[in-house]
């Protein structure tokens, strides 16, 4: 199976749509196999062999180059020329403008990212200069704007082909694009049905036809079924693995495992209600958790400590404001100062993954030492809202889709309404400060990033636990092209990871 890649996803992902700004889109990394973005983060490997995104070193994809024309408030994008897709259509600036206009008109997550975070306030701020050139006018300086050209929610659609399928009730060809991806990616959809997706190499791909002739994604009912398929050789690739799965496949001589920096985890509090409206209690927990033990036991070593609302791979990150190291005596003093000197009993909600269960057991035993008794319950969204917001929950997979400080802050502390099934608590003070950073001059941003990291950590709305790792298990017989920069489907898991893709 050298020239064929066969992998497993949940049945839901296999049957979902291809409209990349839909809430029911096929697996995010699958989108990048058929749609090529304008830019894409480079992938590097650290000294421990872990792949991570180097978003400041963007790769030109459909965009050949870009220019900062007005102190990061205006960006000019130059497209590659002679990029032809499966329909025989050449990529032009008209496709880019139409695709971004579509994103704004559909009013989904892509509009939030483009407008609220990136700074392109109106679709009219996207201006076609000529056949291969587009200007993006921002309402504030954003030195990271070219990174926003990587998002799958703003993929570039073949507007000529899509326009053939519009009508009065569907002016943006939503129905057709749900089942017919029309882009300029390395692969094209050959078949979707009978519980599988089959992609074929695109012979017109601008970077040259892939030696991987076919990609097949098989739908599984649960994670165990997907793992069994790799064990018995029915698939030759699995992505987004958990620690125990990485351990298992790394010992097999015919399988190559690759470590990938995944996302991050937090222990979240309902700080609007007792007992976590008491800062002393929140900070006591932050001092009471055994971080080294959590990394080694809950994550089996496949993680590093998280210390900030800005990720360690993002510009502006600092660990200088993270005071929380394990200190049981300090945790006990804080509990004694709190409104609950005799201790508390509360409930910790978790996703029912082995990793989350291990974390919960460690937290339960450790926090008992400082007078906090935990009952562990499964978190089944959106059920917690029906019974009131959970007092405390382990957000085990916060899968960021970009690595720059404003997006880190907006994603976790000023997200779209309704995110996380209503579990998110909006803090107007943080939102105001994030907005001020977005609007600040470039010279003022650095110290503002430092200040907001300190402010959030001091307030302790959550405890930052880990920047966790995932990885790939791929049969060694598969053509090594899959590890190159042109396999965006695999490389997308380095910066936009959702480890539950085999779950139902």
Sequence-distant (≥ 6) Cβ neighbours of residue 307 within 8 angstroms? 319, 322, 324, 464
CA torsion through residues 183, 186, 191, 195, sign: negative
DSSP, residue by residue, 339-384: S-TT-EEEEEEE-SSHHHHHHHHHHHHHHHTTTEEEEEEE--TTHH
- Beta pairing class for 4-10 and 214-220: parallel
- In b/e form, how buried is each residue of 228-261, taking b as 16+ CB within 10 angstroms? ebbeeeebbbbbbbbbebbebbeeeeebbbbbbb
Query: How is the chain split among helix, strand and coil, in percent rounded to 5?
Result: 35, 25, 40
Q: Give the per-residue pLDDT at 382.
A: 58
d(CA 30, CA 500): 14
Burial of 418 (0-12, 13-18, 19+ CB in 10 A): exposed
Query: For residue 474, how many other CB atoms are within 10 A of its CB?
Result: 24
The tokens for 349 are 């909600």
* Helical packing angle, 442-459 and 428-439, nearest 10°: 160
Residue whose structure tokens are 């990938």: 260
Residue whose structure tokens are 């994103």: 103
117, 401 contact by CB (below 8 A): no
Query: For residue 296, how many other CB atoms are within 10 A of its CB?
Result: 14
114, 154 contact by CB (below 8 A): yes
Q: Give the per-residue pLDDT at 21.
A: 63
37, 150 contact by CB (below 8 A): yes
Would you give per-residue pLDDT tens digits along the chain (504 residues)?
679 999 999 888 888 888 866 655 556 788 999 999 999 999 999 999 999 998 788 999 999 999 999 999 999 999 999 999 999 999 999 999 999 999 999 988 889 999 999 999 999 999 999 999 999 999 999 999 999 999 888 999 999 999 999 999 999 999 999 999 999 999 999 999 999 999 999 999 999 999 999 999 999 999 999 999 999 999 999 999 999 999 999 999 999 999 998 889 999 999 999 999 999 999 999 999 999 999 999 999 999 999 999 999 888 898 888 889 999 999 999 999 999 999 999 999 998 899 999 999 999 999 999 999 999 999 876 565 667 789 999 999 887 656 789 999 998 999 887 676 678 899 999 999 999 999 999 999 999 999 999 999 999 999 999 999 999 999 999 999 999 999 999 999 888 777 877 876
30, 8 contact by CB (below 8 A): no
* H, E, C per residue of 470-498: EEEEEECCCCHHHHCCCCHHHHHHHCCCC
- What pTM did the predictor assign? 0.93
Q: Give the per-residue pLDDT at 397.
A: 86
Q: Give the per-residue pLDDT at 352.
A: 86
Query: For residue 280, how many other CB atoms are within 10 A of its CB?
Result: 19
d(CA 431, CA 360): 30
């Amino acid at each position: 199976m050298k020239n064929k890649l066969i992998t497993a996803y949940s049945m839901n992902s296999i049957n979902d749509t291809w409209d990349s700004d839909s809430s029911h889109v096929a697996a995010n990394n699958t989108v990048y196999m058929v749609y090529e973005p304008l830019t894409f983060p480079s992938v590097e490997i650290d000294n421990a062999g872990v792949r991570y995104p180097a978003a400041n070193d963007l790769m030109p994809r459909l965009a050949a180059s870009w220019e900062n024309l007005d102190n990061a408030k205006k960006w000019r994008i130059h497209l590659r020329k002679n990029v032809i897709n499966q329909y025989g259509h050449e990529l032009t600036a008209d496709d880019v403008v139409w695709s971004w206009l579509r994103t704004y008109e559909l009013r989904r997550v892509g509009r939030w990212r483009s407008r609220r975070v990136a700074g392109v306030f109106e679709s009219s701020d996207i201006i076609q200069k000529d056949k291969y050139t587009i200007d993006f006018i921002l309402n504030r300086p954003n030195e990271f704007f070219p990174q926003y050209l990587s998002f799958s929610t703003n993929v570039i659609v073949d507007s000529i082909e899509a326009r053939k399928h519009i009508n009065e009730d569907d002016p943006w060809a939503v129905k057709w694009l749900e089942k017919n991806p029309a882009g300029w990616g390395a692969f094209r959809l050959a078949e979707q049905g009978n519980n599988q997706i089959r992609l074929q190499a695109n012979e017109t791909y601008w970077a040259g036809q892939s030696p991987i002739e076919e990609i097949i994604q098989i739908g599984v009912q649960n994670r165990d079924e997907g793992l069994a398929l790799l064990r018995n050789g029915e698939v030759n690739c699995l992505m987004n693995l958990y620690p125990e799965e990485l351990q298992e496949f790394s010992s097999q001589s015919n399988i190559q495992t690759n470590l990938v920096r995944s996302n991050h985890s937090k222990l979240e509090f309902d700080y609007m209600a007792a007992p976590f409206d008491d800062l002393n209690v929140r900070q006591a927990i932050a001092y009471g958790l055994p971080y080294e033990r959590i990394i080694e036991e809950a994550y089996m070593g496949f993680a590093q400590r998280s210390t900030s609302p800005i990720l360690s791979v993002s510009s502006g990150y600092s660990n200088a404001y993270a005071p929380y190291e394990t200190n049981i005596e300090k945790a006990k003093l804080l509990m004694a100062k709190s409104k609950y000197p005799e201790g508390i009993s509360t409930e910790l909600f978790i996703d029912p993954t082995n990793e989350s269960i291990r974390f919960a057991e460690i937290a339960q035993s450790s926090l008992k030492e400082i007078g906090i008794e935990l009952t562990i319950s499964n978190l089944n969204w959106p059920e917690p809202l029906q019974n009131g917001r959970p007092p405390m929950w382990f957000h085990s997979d916060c899968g960021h889709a970009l690595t720059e400080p404003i997006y880190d802050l907006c994603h976790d502390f000023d997200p779209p309404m309704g995110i996380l099934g209503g579990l998110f608590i909006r803090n107007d003070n943080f939102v105001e400060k994030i907005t001020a950073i977005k609007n600040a001059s470039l010279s003022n941003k650095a110290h503002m990033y430092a200040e907001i990291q300190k402010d959030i950590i001091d307030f302790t709305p959550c405890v930052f636990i880990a920047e966790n790792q995932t990885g790939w298990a791929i049969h060694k017989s598969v053509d090594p092209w899959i590890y190159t920069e042109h396999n965006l489907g695999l490389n997308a898991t380095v910066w936009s990871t959702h480890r539950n893709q085999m779950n139902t």
